[in-house]
Amino acid sequence: MRISIKAKPNSNEEKVEKLDSPLLKSFGRASDLSFIVSVKEPPVHGLANLAILKALREYFHTPNVRIVSGYTSRSKIIEIG
Q: Give the 3-state secondary structure of 46-74.
A: CHHHHHHHHHHHHHHCCCCEEEEECCCCC
* Region for 45 from its dihedrals, namely left if φ exceeds 0, alpha if ψ lies in -120 to 50, beta otherwise: left
Mean pLDDT over 52-74 rounds to 97
Q: State yes or no: pLDDT of 57 exceeds 90.
A: yes
Number of folded domains that form the chain: 1
CATH assignment at residue 11: 3.30.1200.10
Q: Greater confidence, 23 or 35?
A: 35
Mean pLDDT over 3-11 rounds to 97
Q: State yes or no: pLDDT of 31 exceeds 90.
A: no
Q: State yes or no: pLDDT of 4 exceeds 90.
A: yes
Q: Containing domain of residue 23, as a range?
A: 2-80
Give pTM, 2 decimals: 0.85
32 pLDDT band, cuts 50/70/90, is: low
